[in-house]
Amino acid sequence: MDRTSGERRLASDSDSLLSADATPLVSASRKLEDVSFGAVVDADDESRVLWSTPAGLEIVGRGIAARLTADGTERFDRLRARANRAFDGLEHDGPRVARPRAFGGLSFHDGHEPTPPWTGFRAGEFVVPQILVVRSDADTWLTAVASDHETAADRLERWTDRLRELPSMRPSGDGPGVESTRRTTSRVDWTAQVETALERIERGELTKVVLAQALSVDLEGPVDVPETLERLRRRYPNCYRFLVGREDGGTFFGAPPERLVAKRGDRVETEALAGSMPRGETPEADRAYADEMRDSEKFQREHGLVADAIREQLEPLASDLTIGDQTIRRLATIQHLQTPIEATLEGDRHVLEIVEALHPTPAVGGVPPAAAWETIRDTETFDRGWYAAPIGWFDAAGDGEFAVGLRSGIATDETVTL
């Protein structure tokens, strides 16, 4: 089967799209030899996802077995309800690591409208892919998801054949050249935004707010997002990597360092990551930068605001909460103050409830969160879309993992907005 006919066949799979109220999903799994994840995700004519963690879990998905969407102020409640219906009665014959999951994210603001460059990205949207390839430390698995056993089994066989024909290594390139760049916020507008924020701080309405800008880059040709993520993997191996590609829009991708939340059962892990310095050119200079963050009243106050806010947001949901010792998180070009935070949940809760409680974190929003959120919405002159918002996955049990969509961009045709 050649690539063109294979893509036509794969594209036809999207005709079997399920709504959240359709019949229960079933899945079938099979152990694989290792495959090129870049080759699997390399498609721009259908929905595709990639999720990779610093711990080594890597997942790619293609197609849509179920789509869960919600807009407005009640989007978290609606997503949870639709997720429960979509996963109700799910049958899965493989190991836990290969189970079906819903991948996606939410916009920073609940009033988000999917306008360019965010065409196709709702205020809240997750998809259960028809095909998942999952690689852990131990094994690689292929999982097919459908509304009936026969379709799942057929999809599993066809994709097993398809994966055998894909190259084990995907050729790499240097990427297209840059034609021009432009900032979405003028210097005059930026100055006005900062002055407005400072006035609100002086009036006591805010303690901290994090403002942002976007950079629009026109390229000589379309960007190869999977190859870009591979370069980011080599440069930042201890960061998350994600890709969410819409068949009716662009591709959102990034390599954020910050975990928003990971939930398994009643255990929750999150972190405060705030306070940044560059890496030193020598070990001595590196340690000096780290010591400056540890000893600086400014850095410690900034970091403390984030840790305290996360504790306050989690405490109503937890029976037990532990704040770990402050450490230094070192990346290739930057280092941060980091404090791990763990909690035991009180009662049965979905990971989306934890995401709702924590978003936006003070590291990307501010303190108090609601006042900072309002200030960002009132003053910024560009649409954040899914930038700095929750991105991740959840499963039928309500477990899942989310990162903060920082250090990211959205690619549409020959333009990338960073």
In eight-state DSSP terms, residue 328 is E
Cross-strand bridge partners of residue 411? 251, 416
Closest CA to 352 of 134, 70, 121: 70
Tell me which H or E stretch contains 234: helix 225-235
3-state SS string over 149-164? HHHHHHHHHHHHHHHH
Rounded CA gap, 347 and 329, in Å? 32
Q: Please, are residues 147 and 141 in contact by the beta-carbon 8 Å criterion?
A: no
Q: Are 94 and 32 in contact (CB under 8 A)?
A: no
* Burial classification of residue 342, based on how many CB atoms lie within 10 Å of its CB (0-12 exposed, 13-18 middle, 19 or more buried): middle
For this structure, is 208 an active site residue?
yes
Contacting residues for 280 by C-beta, under 8 A, at least 6 apart:
286, 287, 288, 289
Q: Catalytic pick from 74, 150, 199, 208?
A: 208
Q: Which helix (H) or strand (E) holds 207?
A: none
- HSE of 142 in the Cβ direction (CA atoms, 13 Å)? 24
Are 360 and 377 contacting, i.e. CB atoms less than 8 angstroms apart? no
Q: What is the DSSP code (8-state) at residue 18? A: B
Q: How distant is the alpha carbon of residue 273 from its chain centre?
A: 16
- 263 given a catalytic annotation: no
Q: Which residue is catalytic, options 258, 271, 353, 380?
A: 258
Asked if residues 373 and 379 have their Cβ atoms less than 8 Å apart, the reply is no
CA count, 13 A, side-chain hemisphere, 171: 2
- What lies within 8 Å, CB to CB, of 111 at 6+ separation is 72, 123, 377
**Distance of alpha carbon 368 from alpha carbon 148, whole angstroms:** 48
Q: From CA 217, how far away is CA 182, in angstroms rounded?
A: 7
Question: DSSP code of 387?
Answer: T
Catalytic site positions? 208, 258
